[in-house]
């Protein structure tokens, strides 16, 4: 991904994402919108469980792990 001609690495994207999530959670807590926070937490867990459920872990071999 490029931003203004600079390449952004995976670590930077992960840190920016964590910062945005923390800011949203902090804002929801500050404005006492706990039901929305519960809803977002539930939806994120559902998405995580769907990713794990549909991941093809059976075909991951030791050779693929050693190459990366």
> Considering only CA atoms, which of 51, 25, 48, 20 is closest in space to residue 36?
25
- Rounded to 10 degrees, the C-alpha dihedral 17/19/21/24 comes to -140
Residue 5: per-residue pLDDT: 66
In this prediction, residue 6 has a pLDDT band, given cuts at 50, 70 and 90, of: confident
Tokens representing 4 are: 């203004």
What CA–CA distance (Å, rounded) separates 59 from 40? 32
How much is the average pLDDT of 33-61?
Answer: 90
Rg (the chain; Cα; Å): 17
**Residue 39 in this model has a pLDDT that exceeds 60:** yes
More confident residue, 61 or 23: 23
What residue ranges do the domains of the chain occupy? 2-58
Residue 8: per-residue pLDDT: 85
């Amino acid at each position: 991904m490029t931003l203004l001609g600079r390449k952004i690495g995976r670590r930077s994207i992960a840190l920016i994402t964590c910062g945005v999530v923390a800011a949203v959670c902090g804002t929801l807590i500050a404005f006492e919108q706990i039901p929305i926070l519960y809803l977002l937490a539930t939806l994120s867990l559902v998405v995580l469980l769907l990713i794990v459920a549909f991941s093809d872990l059976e075909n991951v071999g030791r050779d693929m792990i050693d190459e990366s």
